[in-house]
Chain A
Amino acid sequence: MKNDLLNSLEDEAIYIMREVAGQFKNPVLLFSGGKDSITLVRLAQKAFAPGKIPFPLLHIDTGHNFPETIAFRDRLAKQLGADLIVRYVQDSIDQGKVVEETGAMASRNSLQTVTLLDAIEEFGFDACIGGARRDEEKARAKERVFSVRDAFGQWDEKRQRPELFDLLNGRIHPGENVRVFPISNWTELDVWKYIQREELEIPSIYFAHQREVFQLNGQLIPRSDFIDEVVQADIQTRWVRFRTVGDITCTAAVPSEANSLDSVIFEISQSKVSERGARLDDKRSEAAMEERKKAGYF
């Protein structure tokens, strides 16, 4: 028997995908090449099988990428026969719409929003499917599966609608759009287990590999050409892996030797081991470290 929990999470997510196709004229799936968006793509694929995914994929490219993920992205889109739209933060910078951050650890992460909003306007997208999960957000209370944004892409909590049963209200005014989060109720571990069950390919940087990194504020940052030489002191080569992939300048690596899905899942589930069991003392896994970062609010 397959994992009941994964089945019900999958069913819920696919129901949401189909609601998007049923309720909106021009949806798009936001695709970063990371594990959450790979999961979304799989769900979309299953939702409309044997047909193709009835909406395009959109990647907002910061230009500061791990080369592995870009190659991966292009291969996947080709395999699926999906439309892949790429819009570049660099273009927004060149057009003077945004100003590049300065400073040693300048990142293009926050600039992405402008490029995204431009793309939404350019194509007239009315629904953008994203991979956010409630377990990574502090303000889960207010997360909706259908989250309404005004024409400026702004989230106004007063406009968030109560969501009851499986009744998703996607009615909007012209110019507004809805962000849709089909895997809201998944945890990081659920995503990994799903990737394993579905035998999904993921970019190699999710597995342990040797990489040049430097320490900053207790985090391991990958060496790259996009970060000021000055900060990149004390470069060491270490066994690491990434838990998320995004803009290379703000994606920290974690020390790990996990080189297979099994060992990654083991690493992550280890951090869930109870304090009662008191097995967590010195061999803290990286996931627990991540939890600690988050633990600011606990």
Chain B
Amino acid sequence: MDLLKIATAGSVDDGKSTLIGRLMYEAGALKQDQLQHIEQKSRKSGYDYLDFSLATDGLLAEREQGITIDVSHIYFSTPSRRFVIADSPGHVEYTRNMITGASTANLSLILVDARKGITAQTRRHFYISCLLGIKQVVLCINKMDLVDYSESRFNEIVTAFSEMADQLCPKKLNITSIPVSALHGENIATNSELMPWYKEPALLPLLESVKTETNIEQDTVFQVQYVLRPKTNELHDYRAYLGKVRSGVLRTGDPVVVYPEGQETRVKQLEQYGERVEEVQAGVNCSVMLEGEFGISRGQILAGTTNRLQGLQQIKATICWMDNAVLTPGKVCWLQYGTQMVKAKIQQLNALVDTSTFESAENPEQFALNDIGEVSIQLASRLFVQPYLESRANGAFILIDNMSNTTAGVGFIR
């Protein structure tokens, strides 16, 4: 069993709650009492179908309460997968929440109403999905029952969506479009008899089978979290660097470069939780011992020798501003990149993006909460980063307000 993290997005009333409830039902994740509740309530309301949006009632209801609502996590499993759905409310002002919820997602599930087609909100969601570099996109065209399960309507929307995708994200995405009726359960668990023209897998089987992306193929990067020096009698000279292999694979004997200094050495020994291992793959923690003596500390990077990392003191990034106080040029804050913390100055706001038209305005005066745009940042010391779209693991950072200590923004290296 493995884990698939799904970020959902859809405008209010496109049927997101109904779809999630339906998926949980089809996956067998609804308990008998939940089901009874749904049956009773649906009957009481005089529906002649079951209203599965009630399944997520308690979880999603908080969205009504205003800006404090952010991300709901919904967990369910089938025998082959654990699903975590990060659901963020669909209003315009919730960009921050959507980015937060989707930051670790493997797949983005975008819902549209078959009658309405692509809306400004769909474009916003898709923009964010691309910004986050999510490669798997599932476009669910819902409420097909209200357009007579029409193949041509489905195709129309699919074409419009792929035109939009080409415009925004020339990089290869894996977009799958599915015509569904969340309400009537068509194309959810099994292929619908009402849409015989649709031959691809239904939604749940698709979600069960999509491949999740790993960072194993990329250059090896390891960042130090903690230096372990037990200093006991038996472990007197023991020194290991604890951390996570962020991308690639680290093996015993591998040559590595220590950043920022740039010295070369080799991996003497790798341990995982006290036991020796030969190799560690991206996403997994380990303890690294090096040949030779180095005074390495938290935040430093060990990386493979295939391609040298560039140390930058001046970066360009797309950021999403997440603080209530506006951002103006000249602001000094902390920048956290993995386990490294550096002082940063936002020198210039280069462009502000309208995520529904994909157009940008040059040199804006400020960024307000939920604004997305391009900035130039000056750093107090070098950062060994990669462009985010080349490496999701090594290209993102957060900005921390140096007075309030709150997380004020997130950035993606360009």
A residues near B, CB below 8 A? Answer: 3-5, 7-8, 11, 14-15, 18-19, 21-22, 46-52, 134-135, 138-142, 157-159, 161-167, 169, 171-173, 185, 187, 271-277, 280-281, 284, 288, 291-292, 295, 297-298
Contacts and interface: CB of A to CB of B under 8 A. Distances in A.
B100 interface: yes
A185 B84 contact: yes
Contact of A280 (B32, B68, B283): B32
Interface string B107-142: 000000000000000000000000000000000000
Contacts of A274: 27-30
Contacts of B274: 46, 49-50
A271 B31 contact: yes
Contacts of A141: 59, 62, 69-73
A288 B243 CA distance: 39
A277 B28 contact: yes
B322 interface: yes
A163 B31 contact: no
Contact of B406 (A159, A165, A297): A159
Contacts of B31: 271, 275, 280, 288, 291-292, 295
Contacts of B238: 50-51
5 contacts: A49-B271, A157-B68, A171-B405, A276-B25, A288-B32
B242 interface: yes
A21 B3 contact: no
Interface in B32-71: 32-35, 37, 54-55, 57-59, 62, 68-71
B225 A158 contact: no
Contacts of B35: 275
Interface stretch (B157-165, B193-201, B344-352, B392-400): B392-400
Contacts of A4: 1-3
B278 to A, nearest CB: 16
B258 interface: no
Contacts, number: 162
Given A14-B285, A141-B70, A161 B273 contact: no
A158 B235 CA distance: 45
B406 A15 contact: no
Interface stretch (B260-268, B305-313, B332-340, B374-382): B332-340
A275 to B, nearest CB: 5
Nearest to B284: A11
Nearest to A280: B32
Given A18-B225, A158-B68, 16 more contacts: A4-B1, A8-B2, A14-B273, A14-B285, A15-B244, A22-B225, A46-B274, A138-B58, A163-B407, A167-B396, A169-B405, A272-B29, A280-B31, A291-B33, A295-B33, A298-B58
Nearest to B57: A298
Contacts of A21: 225-226
B176 interface: no
B226 A161 contact: no
A15 B104 CA distance: 15
A167 B337 CA distance: 8
Q: State the 10 A-B residue pairs at the shortest beta-carbon distance, nearest first.
A: A274-B28, A49-B274, A51-B230, A297-B58, A46-B273, A171-B405, A161-B407, A164-B103, A141-B72, A18-B225
Nearest to B228: A51
Interface in B88-103: 96-97, 99-100, 103
Contacts of A135: 75
